[in-house]
Amino acid sequence: MYHNPVLLKQSVDDLVTNQDGIYVDCTFGGGGHSQEILYRLSENGKLYAFDQDLDALKNTIDDPKFTLINQNFRFLENSLLMYGVAKVDGVLADLGVSSHQFDEAVRGFSTRNNAPLDMRMNVMQSLDAKKVINEYDEEALADIFYYYGELREARKLARDIVHHRKIKAINTTEDLKKLFSFLPPHKVNKFYAQLFQAIRIEVNQELEVLKEMLVQAYNVLKPSGRLVVISYHSLEDRLVKRFLKNGMFEGEPQRDIYGNYAKAFELVKSKAIIPDDKEIEENSRARSAKMRTGIKL
Ligand SMILES: C[S@@+](CC[C@H](N)C(=O)[O-])C[C@H]1O[C@@H](n2cnc3c(N)ncnc32)[C@H](O)[C@@H]1O
């Protein structure tokens, strides 16, 4: 199976409030969420879906209400304008990589397989994991490991990598993992997961594009339109949470003349929605999912 959609019912229940409306699925993947949105729309409704990965295009849905756009969702606003769409009723984003991307060993996302250091969601882009690991300077690498992987020994890791790559280029996931094989077995899997997460975030500029998409989603939403975001790690969730609360990512939110914080969205639930035990048992990818929904004020 290409991908088993996470929090499917909950997310689409939150998203679709107008069966004649215009909706956006920023992360088409295997099309599970898109398919469910289409079921809820009348023949007057429209769904525009984005995916930057060419593989996802193979899953396209044959439905006159549906348009699939092979583009990064950081170009949400302009891409929709190209289709004559200025305002929409709801935007969904189910972030990260699909199971298909993860399971395709050759793409280098998984810590389990030996593969070229790649990790690009869009195989047409030039920056890949090999460039990050072999060409970034020590300080840049340390920052990536510290901020994106939340690895405390970031400086030492960066130093080790720079030392080894002078002797021999680090070309594959196995070359990279081998550098840290001295770690105790009970620590090594978590460490690799954090290391790979950090590199993947950098290769795909995941936090930057998320910020750009959130701001544009706000711009394209009609008043009362809904933004639903499912994220899979705390760095993403933190950005989504702050944006839905204050319409910004950092700093002090503005206050009105009464001293109240200016709000961009009303939250459907103050706490993030997480999958229940049954869903996690059936789909391990659901384990770290957090969903937040805002209604544009
Ligand atoms: C978790 S999967 C989505 C799965 C989908 N909801 C389903 O039901 O099959 C994320 C998908 O979004 C795509 N994606 C991630 N970031 C993207 C971005 N910045 N722009 C466009 N597509 C992106 C990935 O290529 C991947 O196919």
Using one digit for the tens of pLDDT, what is the confidence trace for 64-95?
Answer: 999 999 999 999 999 999 999 999 999 999 99
Using one digit for the tens of pLDDT, what is the confidence trace for 266-277?
Answer: 999 999 999 999
Reply yes or no on whether the pLDDT at 55 is more than 80: yes
120: Cβ below 6 Å to ligand 1? no
Using one digit for the tens of pLDDT, what is the confidence trace for 102-111?
Answer: 999 999 999 9
| 199 CA from centroid of ligand 1 (Å) | 17
- Which pLDDT score is estimated for 251? 83
Atom of ligand 1 nearest to the CA of 74: 19
Reply yes or no on whether the pLDDT at 16 is more than 80: yes
Using one digit for the tens of pLDDT, what is the confidence trace for 114-133?
Answer: 999 999 999 999 999 999 99
To test the ligand 1 pocket, which listed residue (28, 38, 120) has its Cβ within 8 A of the most ligand atoms?
28
- Which pLDDT score is estimated for 142? 98
| 52 CA from centroid of ligand 1 (Å) | 8
Cα separation values, 151 from 144, 155, 181, 190, 236, Å: 9, 9, 16, 10, 16
121: Cβ below 6 Å to ligand 1? yes
Reply yes or no on whether the pLDDT at 154 is more than 90: yes
Atom of ligand 1 nearest to the CA of 122: 25
What amino acid occupies position 77? E
Using one digit for the tens of pLDDT, what is the confidence trace for 216-263?
Answer: 999 999 999 999 999 999 999 999 999 999 899 988 887 777 888 778
* 295 closest CA partner among 7, 17, 24: 17
Which of 171-206 are b and which e, b meaning 16 or more Cβ less than 10 Å from the residue's Cβ?
A: ebbebbbebeeeeeeeeeeebbebbbbbbbbbbbeb
**Tokens at residue 296, please?**
């544009």
96: Cβ below 6 Å to ligand 1? yes
37: Cβ below 6 Å to ligand 1? no
Q: Do 110-204 and 8-99+207-296 fall under one CATH topology?
A: no
* 40 closest CA partner among 59, 66, 62, 60: 66
CA distance 233 to 241: 12
- CB-based burial label for 288 (10 Å; 0-12, 13-18, 19+): middle
Can you give the length of the chain in residues? 297
Atom of ligand 1 nearest to the CA of 121: 25
What architecture does CATH give domain 110-204? Orthogonal Bundle (1.10)
Residue 32 annotated as binding site: yes
Using one digit for the tens of pLDDT, what is the confidence trace for 170-215?
Answer: 999 999 999 998 888 889 999 999 999 999 999 999 999 999 999 9
- Which pLDDT score is estimated for 289? 98
Reply yes or no on whether the pLDDT at 23 is more than 90: yes
Q: What percent of the chain has pLDDT over 90?
A: 92
- Which pLDDT score is estimated for 257? 78
- CB-based burial label for 135 (10 Å; 0-12, 13-18, 19+): exposed
- Which pLDDT score is estimated for 260? 81
- Give 8-99+207-296's CATH code, choosing from 3.40.640.10, 2.120.10.30, 1.10.10.60, 3.40.50.150: 3.40.50.150
Specify the residue for token string 């389990």: 112
Residue spans per domain, the chain: 8-99+207-296, 110-204
CA distance 21 to 41: 7
- Which pLDDT score is estimated for 181? 85
Task: Give the residue whose CA is nearest to atom 5 of ligand 1.
Answer: 29
290: Cβ below 6 Å to ligand 1? no
